[in-house]
Structure 1
């Protein structure tokens, strides 16, 4: 696991070593164990390393035999051993025991299509010196991040936004389309960052750039829901168990202590149970909880830990967790509307005190239809039998009611059709609310964006079953932009690697062949997954209602943190930006204080304001003394200059 960064002078500009070193220095928490650089006139690659596999010889960058190809990798390639054996048979020579080295040799064999051979989580940058070409690639589900941009003839990339912002010639200006997406769906879009000109490489995509040419982005993988109705439910159950065993086993490969996150839900519990069967020593498990029992899952986590004999560790979070908000905002890299980033940060911090690698259960809800909103949509599909004219009239009536009036949102909601209705249920600030939220100087730019349209364009064709279509929408958006972003940033902030066995791409492809009727069965979410876990997990863990990784911010904002929220959002600093309407924020605070659950809206505003203060209002880092950086670079490039072939 690493952080990577680099610069390519596409018009022949020389790359300054100190710039690449500064970019990597911003990624220190992602890789505290080592750093390494490749600088050659107009190309510069760098990395920070968290040593997980091949602790002795696995330092990057990694080269091929004649040093014409060089790669830096963030992530893990789980099938590297089998790939290495096949490459050795094709006469390739290896000088490390690391997973990274297979990439350069796969590229020699398959070119850009080498990504199809990789099974893992990754974002890598590969430089082909003979072709003068840079290749970037990101894993299929978007577990590992990668940002990029093109400024003044320099193509730049990095594992985090802040890495690119170390370059003095990169401007920091808000992207208003991304701002609109944030206040609609809690995150920035798939292909755009919060800052204009800095993009994200989407999950399952690769990018190539050559001298004097614009970057070319290509999708190389996508999940396709193609149900196999010729198979029995029992056969799916049997294969699901086998594939989970394999996926977890692949992710046990490492040379450092490991453990697992354990919430007490069925997904994390299934991973812990599978790990326990494959390990001779007790698994270390980690959980966080709250004094507020409605949000506390620790009793369930303890039950699973006891059932599988784990070495269990837990932490109770209180409102004073707000003291780490500045760190969390810095590490999130962008404004982020999901407050569960806070407990994710804290459980990662807890785990990092004991291990360097954990497995998690992320992805199960998207693959097996675990969210309650799928049941809600199943019920609401009956609204399509109400004549369209009647539903339209109900929407008009709802729009005339003032915000906060009982029934207003329901009338507007029922007027919508299928996918629009689903998106409406997950919208933070609707269009009319955004008109009130934003100051007139920002509203015009924000309201020109259409996040709903962008989201709907990612839907598969009409022939796909409605449930599969919504799951696809969540895999492409909510999973990669929210869940995986949160876990990556908060774990890497604590130098902890998180592996996600349910998102092995072969496991995902298998799940997409399960008929939707086996996923959501008679109003029962995750039907097939629950069946597969019976006899393995305690019955009450399987059958208990889904709770989610929520945090009691609503209560905290009304009590302990009320002054903090008001002082921050109505401060002179915030209002002087002329982005938000102070009267509307005052109204939100008042409605929340009176019992309306607006904690998510307030958290998103808090996250945005704190991000602006850290990323826009002041320099990101103190001035850097270039002399020691230059010495550091020279020593590191000298270390990596002589691969040992054997």
Structure 2
């Protein structure tokens, strides 16, 4: 049995009056609310003029187990809107006060469940977990947003707070919306409380707390799982193995699921098997091959909220379908671990240019800077490295991360997009989104914490969660994220970078905490993930290559891209383009396939 996708939608003003039959009539201001989830989420109206809606897998700080809309209504009556901040877990919640004409819609702290919103004239407001609900509303009527397109091409996803549609925004993690007749405001109600000092430096005590807090997160995820068999994603990495092991401790013989590839460089199956044997799980493996991509791509594009180019979504989908075939109702996932406990290589790499700042300022400014700034040095052995170090020293951490990445560098925007789009996005720097994400950790001077804050937005909320959520919804299985439990996130935020990365060891703290619990082979393996051998497949599989090339032919008719750039994308599919790879062609093909199935004007 497939379970209904998590959903909440509320509309006010003329949006409610014209788009859907109003469920509740406020004085002179129609209002509509609906909710659905695996628990039977719903909107509940009280006699006192309050309407609440709740969806997801929420639990209350003062109420054990899953929380329902009726529970929230009682809490709001007792505490007012402050009751929303007692919600934890993955959720979207709404409170509408008919007497005051005030609607508050709040998302969870990690942005697990996306919420899209639109503001119209005369106090009209709409918010929904399904972007398609809002696409036909507002003055822009499903118009493509050029900035959203630019961001998609840069990030192969559409990061918040924008969307692919003009005039429709996406709520950021830890934020809420307040809508009245005077307009809509977005407010932050929570942020990761990073501390550069840390309250405790005792390794043994911290390791014990680490294991305990994650075990509690796993227990809560199991508590709010859909009734029925629960399994885990198991890649053989640190996070999926830790979550699987803790879940197996509470539910012996729990099922685990991994994706395998016939290309050894991408296959983590042997490590997943090591973890599965160690924790005695009921382990399932599924192989993914190029024909599986061809079979899925059209259905995937039709069901995505927005275009999404991360090819690892293919692997995630087939892991979920294997789980569903085995009767699972819910899967536990390990997403968020690298971004909470410092597992990404750039947390160290981006700090390396700071060594240049140790040179005395007069020597650096008066002698070295004028010499090393010469671009011609970039091609010279030795001096090229010094030139790049000097250049990156003066960049922000966000700019350093993308210093070697720019999909438009060799073409210029004018060589990629049509002139009208180029004119509209002039002056837009996609890296600015990364800068804004860094600002979420402006209260700490710890560079590792700052970089993790950026990744919690751009990598977790804007990419990984979209991938797993959308594929689980498509396959009809619920998903829970123990790593994104509030107490786990709070604990991680209190650990300074030098504690998380002792002696420069990425994930060193986490590995030390789980030594003796996780197999040694897992603790020492190289990080991989559910990556696909896509570049190799596109060169060797004719059907897959034809699928992409056909989509690019149709994309030409839309007039979004220059003919020369599309020619280069076709060459990339054949492996004959120097500056583009098949991944760029995949992103463009997914965009075309998504646009076929969604109402959008260009």
TM range (shorter): 0.7 to 0.9
Q: Does 1:60 align with 2:42?
A: yes
- 144, 150, 170: which one pairs with 1:200? 170
Shift of 1:370: 0.6
2:32 aligns to what?
44
CA contact (8 A) 2:109 2:191 kept: yes
* TM superposition shift of 1:275: 0.7
Structural mapping, 1:230-629, within 5 Å: 230-253=200-223, 254=225, 255-279=227-251, 281-320=252-291, 321-353=293-325, 354-384=327-357, 387=364, 397=375, 415-416=391-392, 417-419=395-397, 420-425=399-404, 427-430=406-409, 433-459=412-438, 460-461=441-442, 464-560=445-541, 561-569=544-552, 571=553, 573-590=554-571, 593-594=575-576, 598-616=581-599
Counterparts of residues 155-194 of structure 1 (less than 5 Å): 155-165=125-135, 171-194=141-164
Partner deviation per Cα, 1:389-422 (whole Å, 9 max, x = no partner): 8668767637999xxxxx9999778623241112
| Structure 2 Cα separation of the partners of residues 410 and 180 of structure 1 | 32
Tell me how far apart the structure 2 counterparts of residues 330 and 339 of structure 1 sit (CA, whole Å).
15
1:75 aligns with 2:56: yes
Over aligned residues, Cα RMSD in angstroms?
3.0
Cα offset, 1:302, TM superposition: 1.5
CA pair 357-591 structure 1, distance change in 2 beyond 3 A: closer
Q: Secondary structure at the match of 2:212?
A: helix
2:100 pairs with 1:131? yes
Checking the alignment, whether the CA contact within 8 Å between 2:446 and 2:496 is kept in structure 1 is no
* Deviation for aligned residue 1:111: 2.2
Contact (CA 8 Å) 1:413, 1:421: kept in 2 or not? Answer: no
CA contact (8 A) 2:229 2:330 kept: yes
Distance, in Å, in 1 between the alignment partners of 2:114 and 2:348 is 31
**Range moving further from structure 2, 439-448 or 217-226:** 439-448
SS of residue in 2 equivalent to 1:78? strand
- In 2, Cα distance between the equivalents of 1:68 and 1:473? 40
Residue 8 (structure 1) aligns with: 12
How many angstroms apart in 1 are the aligned matches of 2:388 and 2:142?
Answer: 38
Contact 2:54 2:68 in 1 (8 A): no
Contact preservation (8 Å) 1:4, 1:47: yes
Per-residue deviation, residues 115-151 of structure 1 (Å, max 9, x unmatched): 2211211112222223222110000110011111123
| Partner SS, residue 534 of structure 1 | coil
Q: Tell me the matched-pair count.
A: 572
Moved more, 387-396 or 199-208: 387-396
Deviates more, 1:288-297 or 1:99-108: 99-108
CA contact (8 A) 2:353 2:389 kept: no
1: CA distance, partners of 2:164 / 2:595: 11
Kindly provide the CA deviation profile for residues 208-263 of structure 1, in whole angstroms up to 9, marking residues without a partner as x. Answer: 112x2201211100113203164212221111011011111111114322111111
Give the 3 Å change call, closer, same or farther, for CA 14–435 of structure 1 in structure 2.
closer
CA distance in 2, matches of 1:551, 1:390: 44
What SS is found at the alignment partner of 2:347? helix
Query: What per-residue deviation string (whole Å, max 9, x for no partner) do you get for residues 424-479 of structure 1?
Result: 34554449643432233322223331222342133233851111111111112221
* Partners of 1:223 and 1:508 within 8 A in 2: yes
Give per-residue Cα distances to partners, 1:40-61, cap 9 Å, x unaligned.
360111223323xxxxxx5522
Q: Is the 8 A contact 2:236 2:268 kept in 1?
A: yes
Distance 1:563 1:168, change over 3 A: same
Aligned mates of 2:500, 2:538 — CA distance in 1: 37
Would you say the 8 A contact 1:176–1:449 is kept in 2?
Answer: no
Q: Which runs of 5+ in 1 are unaligned?
A: 22-36, 52-57, 86-96, 402-406, 620-646
Change (3 A) 1:432 1:595: closer
Pairwise CA distance, 1:519: 1.5
Deviations 1:271-306 (A, max 9, x none): 010011112x41111111211111111111122111
**Deviation readout 1:341-397 (Å, 9 max, x if unpaired):** 221222222223321111110000001111122232243443556847866876763
In 1, distance between residues paired with 2:41 and 2:563?
A: 52
1:146 corresponds to which residue? 115
Alpha-carbon contact 1:396-1:412 (below 8 Å) kept = no
- What TM-score results when the alignment is normalised by the length of structure 1? 0.81
Give me the whole-angstrom Cα distance separating, in 1, the residues matched to 2:370 and 2:319.
47
